[in-house]
A and B are shown apart, each in its own frame.
Chain A
Amino acid sequence: QKEVEQNSGPLSVPEGAIASLNCTYSDRGSQSFFWYRQYSGKSPELIMSIYSNGDKEDGRFTAQLNKASQYVSLLIRDSQPSDSATYLCAVNPAGAGSYQLTFGKGTKLSVIP
């Protein structure tokens, strides 16, 4: 069974600090990795995608992928109270024609003013 694991949290960080969110996945052949942010009562919003090993930066967000360790992370620099949300890690499993995403259960982040 293809699984995506996340620490459910809550993860609390002070405003201005770096928040580090982690995710591991079981399907070694996975090729596409995504981070979504979900505010309470709202649907997920895509914030980062990453496809190759290494780091990818977009503003205050950095996604890191290590396929050998089957590990993907999201760093949020200069955390703001508005970043308080649940962050979902999602993986596109391997396989020709696979259009599905497998989601982790999410990590709840609280940024304390």
Chain B
Amino acid sequence: GAVVSQHPSWVICKSGTSVKIECRSLDFQATTMFWYRQFPKQSLMLMATSNEGSKATYEQGVEKDKFLINHASLTLSTLTVTSAHPEDSSFYICSARDTAGWFFGPGTRLTVL
């Protein structure tokens, strides 16, 4: 299957700082990528749909000014958590679609102190 990478795999930061997470499709081009968040023992929650060359589409309840998404190329989307707070601590996972289906990156575990 297709390979999606994420960087970093984990990050610990202080409250109030910003954190950038990268998502790359390694062997295919993805005009659309998706960002999910998963809290412990809960299912995946779609945060936003990232569209190459245009603005992201955010799900209801997700603050677009807090979670900045940039999809600058067909293989790279970034999620920046701005002014992070402890309640933003979560497992962030990106996903991209190829002809076989949707494939997920390995995830980024964010801990905000």
Contacts and interface: CB of A to CB of B under 8 A. Distances in A.
Contacts, number: 46
- Chain B at the A interface: mostly helix, strand, loop or mixed? strand
B49 A100 contact: yes
B44 A103 contact: yes
Given A43-B93, A99-B49, A34 B102 contact: yes
A42 B107 contact: yes
B68 to A, nearest CB: 20
B102 A46 contact: yes
B59 to A, nearest CB: 10
B82 to A, nearest CB: 23
A88 B32 contact: no
B105 A104 contact: no
Contacts of A103: 43-44
B101 A42 contact: no
Nearest to B32: A99
A88 B102 contact: no
A40 B32 CA distance: 27
B67 interface: no
Interface of B: 1, 32, 34, 42-44, 46, 49, 91, 93, 95, 97, 100-107, 109
17 contacts: A34-B101, A34-B102, A41-B91, A41-B109, A42-B106, A42-B107, A46-B100, A46-B101, A46-B102, A46-B103, A49-B101, A99-B34, A99-B49, A99-B97, A100-B49, A105-B42, A105-B43
